[in-house]
Amino acid sequence: MSESTKPRKKTAGKSRSKASTSPKKRADKKPKLTARNADKHVLYQLAVQAPELDAKIYSRWFKRYTGRDLRVLREDFCGTAVLACHHVKRHPDNVAIGVDLDGPTLDWGREHNVARLLDQEQQQRLTLLQENVLDVQAPKADAILALNFSYSVFNTREQLGAYLKNCYRSLKPGGVLYLDSWGGPDVLKKKTDKRRVKGFQYHWEQRLYDPISHRIVCAIHFAFPDGTKLKDAFVYDWRLWTLAELRELFVEAGFEDTHVLWEGTDPKNGGGNGKFTRKEKGDMDECWITFVVGRKPGAPRRSK
């Protein structure tokens, strides 16, 4: 779910009249998306992810923070591993590890992303592991990413603390852990947000929120021009973690310089502007997106 910048495809020009379109051109036109012919993983990548841009952003953030190039990236809860693929593509020395429990989703990623985005040499620098993120500790990474709030499947402090401690053990000295986080009054409402993407609509449903346990249930649906709908394409049963809890658990796991990167606000529409800055005090936004960042001690600090 959670990132809001999406890749866009160019639209082929329309002919001025039906007669001017050759039979071959008409045959080459892609069929309109419907619930019957759509692939939910393709739709998710179009609506939720911007992997090429994100791979560039995380590499830039890491370099700015540590003074070193990001070479070994681990993507936990990697799903189709499209972000890991784009990290590998960025530089001939880049290596990526993707970890996910869901075998069919990893297989889809191997067929549709790994095989299509990476050549044979690049594929040798990508490792996909169908394992529990609580168990994997090798190879050691420069940075670990747990994105789209995926770590929220851990619904107790004990579980999430165990995950963060495993991330700590999995990082090289001076390595960095990035977790995205969300919150604000708007997140607690029962509602469905809709956004148009090329050829379909993306629906984000906030279905349930329990203020005692902080359990939150959300779902993604896709709707199509013919009126059909791919309902419950993805359903998430999470705990909504607060930034205070996350920072405390980072510190308990051993991370130093734990801090928050806060997304700024676009004055034109009141939404996020995609620019993140380090803050010690947040803003009273209706809805906010942040990253919690922690560094494993051991590497020399960058000279100023």
- pLDDT tens-digit readout, 163-177: 999 999 999 999 999
Query: Cα–Cα distance between 269 and 214 in angstroms, integer?
Result: 29
Q: What is the pLDDT of residues 202-257, one digit of tens each?
A: 999 999 999 999 999 999 999 999 999 999 999 999 999 999 999 999 999 999 99
**Token couple for 266:** 């676009």
Write out the two tokens for 292. 């919690």
Distance separating alpha carbons of residues 6 and 202, to the nearest angstrom: 11
Given a cut of 60, whether residue 304 has pLDDT beyond it is no
Q: What is the spatial distance between Cα 291 and Cα 293, in angstroms, rounded to a whole number?
A: 6
| CB 225 within 8 Å of CB 198 | no
Dihedral angle over CA of 172, 173, 174, 178, nearest 10: 40
pTM of the model: 0.88
Of the two residues 104 and 298, the one the predictor is more confident about is 104
pLDDT value for 29: 66
Domains and CATH numbers, the chain: 40-183+241-295 (3.40.50.150), 186-237 (no CATH)
